[in-house]
């Protein structure tokens, strides 16, 4: 626990067998109450490795996609009584050593959402982020800051901490099951008035670290633009996207289905 709040780390996993152990061993378990891994029907031994490490492991019967994986992660964390949930990718791209810092900022009520930014302190390029991805990140982030009225350094990090209230409030089941889920979730956080903070996070790009290919990156980028425009239209009252509806479908915390 941190400041009396239950901290749960969730790891959305797909073919993470080679990097899972290194990631898990650096999680500050003295402060983390539970670690949950959701295996999205990997073709390797991700689930077996997680079980060997003593991680609470849930295996999807079919591949639901990155967004679908996160929906299961957050649902299970809330069912286990989490006050703060930190999403950490098991591919060792982000350092687990920041879990305490990020969770603390949420636990004390400083922010509702905390992001581990690769852009602050030039961590992205130093860590080996491809230049085209860096440039796309900067362009998309500028557009989003204008559309959402924010001043974040980036919206595309996969390292995030959320308060329980955020996860219970946002209509996350309206979101995509693909990679754009990440961006939709941040846009929803901004739309519903939750505060968003950032901490500088070093990152590593290497062969075993997960990364989407160029085609998927383009699809993601178009999804980001669409989400930002939908946000602005909803703010102006010109459209009513379900992802920004207060009556939109939320996570089903009371259900035991996966």
Can you give the pLDDT at residue 120? 85
Give the range among 99-108, 175-184, 248-257 with minimum mean pLDDT. 248-257
Per-residue pLDDT tens digits for 38-93: 999 999 999 999 999 999 999 999 999 999 999 999 999 999 999 999 999 999 99
Domain contains 250: no
C-beta of residue 64 within 8 angstroms of C-beta of residue 175 = no
Q: Which residues 6+ apart lie within 8 Å of 171 measured at CB?
A: 188, 242, 243, 244, 245, 246, 247, 248, 249, 250
E-strand spans in 21-165? 34-39, 56-59, 84-87, 113-117, 160-163
Can you give the pLDDT at residue 129? 75
- The CA R_g of the chain, rounded to the nearest whole Å, is 17
Domain contains 253: no
Alpha-carbon span 46 to 42, nearest angstrom: 7
Q: Is the dihedral of CA 138, 71, 94, 31 positive or negative?
A: positive
Find where tokens 């964390």 sit. Answer: 77
Average pLDDT for the chain: 93
Quickly count: other Cβ atoms within 10 Å of residue 124's Cβ.
Answer: 26
C-beta of residue 95 within 8 angstroms of C-beta of residue 89 = no
Domain count, the chain: 1
Binned at pLDDT 50, 70 and 90, residue 123 comes out as: low
Q: Is 145 exposed, middle or buried (0-12, 13-18, 19+ CB in 10 A)?
A: middle
pLDDT above 50 (res 258): no
Domain contains 33: yes
Stronger pLDDT, 170 or 129, i.e. the higher one: 170
pTM value > 0.75: yes
Domain contains 257: no
Domain contains 111: yes
DSSP state of 35: E
Alpha-carbon span 69 to 178, nearest angstrom: 9
Over residues 120-124, mean pLDDT:
71
Which CATH number does the domain housing residue 145 bear? 3.90.550.10
Backbone angles phi, psi at 4, to 5 degrees: 75, 10
Using DSSP, state whether 194 is helix, strand or coil. coil
Domain contains 1: no
Can you give the pLDDT at residue 132? 81
Over residues 12-35, mean pLDDT:
97
Can you give the pLDDT at residue 255? 53
Over residues 151-165, mean pLDDT:
96
Per-residue pLDDT tens digits for 79-93: 999 999 999 999 999
Give the burial string for 216-254 (b: 16+ CB within 10 Å, else e): ebeebbebbeebbebbbebeeeeeebebbeeebeebeee
Domain coverage including residue 143? 7-244
C-beta of residue 132 within 8 angstroms of C-beta of residue 148 = no
Q: Is 55 exposed, middle or buried (0-12, 13-18, 19+ CB in 10 A)?
A: buried
Quickly count: other Cβ atoms within 10 Å of residue 135's Cβ.
Answer: 11
Can you give the pLDDT at residue 213? 74
Q: Percent of the chain scored above 90 by pLDDT? A: 83
Per-residue pLDDT tens digits for 167-210: 999 999 999 999 999 999 999 999 999 999 999 998 877 555 55
C-beta of residue 191 within 8 angstroms of C-beta of residue 234 = yes
Can you give the pLDDT at residue 42? 97
Domain contains 203: yes
Binned at pLDDT 50, 70 and 90, residue 257 comes out as: very low
Can you give the pLDDT at residue 134? 85
Domain contains 256: no
């Amino acid at each position: 626990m941190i400041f009396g709040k239950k901290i749960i780390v969730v790891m959305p996993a797909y073919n993470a067998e080679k990097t899972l152990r290194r990631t898990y061993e650096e999680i500050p378990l003295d402060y983390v109450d539970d670690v949950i891994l959701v295996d999205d029907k990997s073709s390797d031994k991700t689930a077996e490795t997680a079980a060997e490490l003593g991680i609470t492991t849930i295996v999807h019967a079919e591949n639901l996609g990155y967004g679908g994986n996160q929906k299961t992660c957050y649902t299970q964390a809330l069912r286990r009584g989490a006050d703060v949930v930190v999403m950490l990718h098991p591919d060792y791209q982000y350092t687990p050593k920041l879990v305490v810092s990020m969770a603390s900022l949420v636990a004390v009520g400083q922010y509702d959402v905390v992001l581990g930014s690769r852009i602050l302190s030039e961590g992205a390029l130093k860590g080996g982020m491809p230049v085209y991805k860096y440039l796309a990140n900067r362009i998309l982030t500028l557009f989003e800051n204008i559309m959402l009225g924010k001043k974040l350094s980036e919206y595309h990090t996969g390292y995030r901490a959320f308060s329980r209230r955020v996860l219970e409030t946002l209509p996350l089941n309206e979101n995509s099951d693909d990679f754009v889920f990440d961006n939709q979730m941040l846009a929803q956080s901004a739309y519903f008035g939750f505060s968003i903070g950032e901490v500088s996070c070093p990152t590593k790009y290497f062969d075993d670290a997960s990364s989407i290919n160029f085609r998927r990156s383009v699809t993601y980028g178009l999804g980001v633009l669409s989400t930002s425009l939908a946000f602005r239209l909803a703010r102006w009252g010109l459209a009513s996207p379900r992802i920004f509806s207060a009556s939109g479908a939320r996570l089903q915390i009371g259900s035991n289905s996966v």
